[in-house]
Amino acid sequence: MKTYNNPAKNTWAEITKRPAKEANTLGATVKAVFDDIKENGDVALKQYTQKFDGVTLSDLKVSQQEIDQAIPLVSQELKDAIVLAKNNVEKFHTSQKIEKKVISTTNGVDCWQEMKPIEKVGLYIPGGSAPLFSTILMLGVPAKIAGASKIVLCTPPSKDGTINPAILFAAQLVGVTEIYKLGGIQAIAAMTYGTESVPNVYKIFGPGNQFVTAAKQYTLTQGLAIDMPAGPSEVMVVADKNADASFVVADLLSQAEHGADSQVILVTESQQLIDDVQVELKKQLDELPRKEIALGAIENSSAILLENIADQNELINEYAPEHLILNVVDESVYIDEIVNAGSVFIGPLTPESAGDYASGTNHTLPTNGYARMYSGVNLDAFTKKITYQKITKEGIQNIGPAIELMAAAEGLDAHKNAVTLRLKSLK
């Protein structure tokens, strides 16, 4: 882990630069796969599943029988943990509902908005070495609360053509309506266009590797929405001199183990803490099953000594971390100043892992600096808001003349006439 001692502000961007993305040939690959699936449907999906996942499938859809056979394979302890997490996620996201509120902007003019569900949503859940069944809770629960009528889940199959049992348990628990054995670019393309087996959706959610991310970006050009631009996971830990180095290292490694392209950054006032972290890092790395992956991420990472709190806050906002951990005694000097962060974890007993699994907040968050302008996934992400207005005789008489004047000034006579005719009818 590289260390920097009170670096000049004009060096911050370089010090915290995210790992470079492979991009050159990605766009052409994504387009070719999308075009093939648009033209050839299920045939193309099965060919790409064979090519990229090494699995030959007769049916893409997971049957109810497969679900029923898989669920007993999940331990009761894990089921209980998933249910606990689901309940907390449900409580938090239910609180985000907005009730209808009618506003009388003028006597006789009532306006309001109502939250309506996005009817068909697609969830992409990574499989492989880290099957992210927790992401099903983060996406499926708010989709269900919002009222989505179709929740389609795609996840890559294992080599024997099965889906991780915990994924199937979580999917059934939250009310996913259909599950497909599809990963990578082909899964995103299938949900974009629809095929003989897979229905198209209106918005696609979920994390993934660079291929999935590029595919989601391409769907935007095909008339679909996505949750947000996303990239490799990242965390910034701000720790004071009182912080426990073992806690700090555990938090850094919890993100580093996601992938070699992840990034973790420590910001602290204490050189002693940096020294302690470097020692502790070696200890915890040696005990980590995903050590090699984490080591790759550590190479992209930094420990930054900044003695001035104002400078720390400025760096936080410039970097705009996906996850921000404030392992400090006094968080009040940070909270009001932070404007760019995906999710904030306050105090020494609040690990980022809590938000990943069971505290109730959503772990689908903006990365790569997008926290400057994007929120993490919440109930709003699964809804759209329709505005309404109702105008009475008194109302049109109150605002009609202003509408006529404004429409005439813009040269839109038909707009003016729509009001004029009504006003004349009331005389």
Q: Which residues are annotated as a binding site?
A: 124, 186, 209, 233, 255, 258, 323, 356, 410, 415
Distance in angstroms (rounded) separating the CA atoms of residues 66 and 70: 6
For residue 112, report the phi and psi dihedrals to the nearest 5 degrees. -160, 170
Rg, C-alpha atoms of the chain: 25
Q: Active-site residue 337, yes or no?
A: no
Burial class (CB in 10 A: 0-12, 13-18, 19+), 75: exposed
- Token match 């974890």: residue? 345
The active-site residue out of 257, 269, 322, 352 is: 322
Ramachandran quadrant class, 197 (left: phi over 0; alpha: psi -120 to 50; beta: rest): alpha
Amino acid at 284: Q
63-72, long-range: CB < 8 A, 24+ apart: 66/162, 66/163, 66/168, 67/168, 67/171, 67/172, 67/179, 70/162, 70/163, 70/165, 70/168, 70/169, 71/165, 71/168, 71/169, 71/172
Does residue 168 contact residue 180 with C-beta atoms inside 8 Å? Answer: no
Annotated binding site for NAD(+): 124, 186, 209
Identify the active-site residue in 93, 269, 323, 363: 323
CA dist., res. 247 & res. 347, Å (int): 11
AA letter at 190: A
Active site residue 323: yes
Pairing mode, if any, of strands 383-391 and 109-117?
antiparallel
Where is the binding site for Zn(2+), in residues? 255, 258, 356, 415
Hey, what long-range contacts does 416-425 have (CB within 8 A, 24 or more apart)? 422/396, 423/396, 423/397
What residues contact 394, with CB distance under 8 A and at least 6 apart? 107, 108
Q: What is the SS3 assignment for 64-116?
A: HHHHHHHHHHCCHHHHHHHHHHHHHHHHHHHCCCCCCCCEEEECCEEEEEEEE
Q: Pick out the residues of the known binding site for substrate.
A: 233, 255, 258, 323, 356, 410, 415
Catalytic residue numbers read 322-323
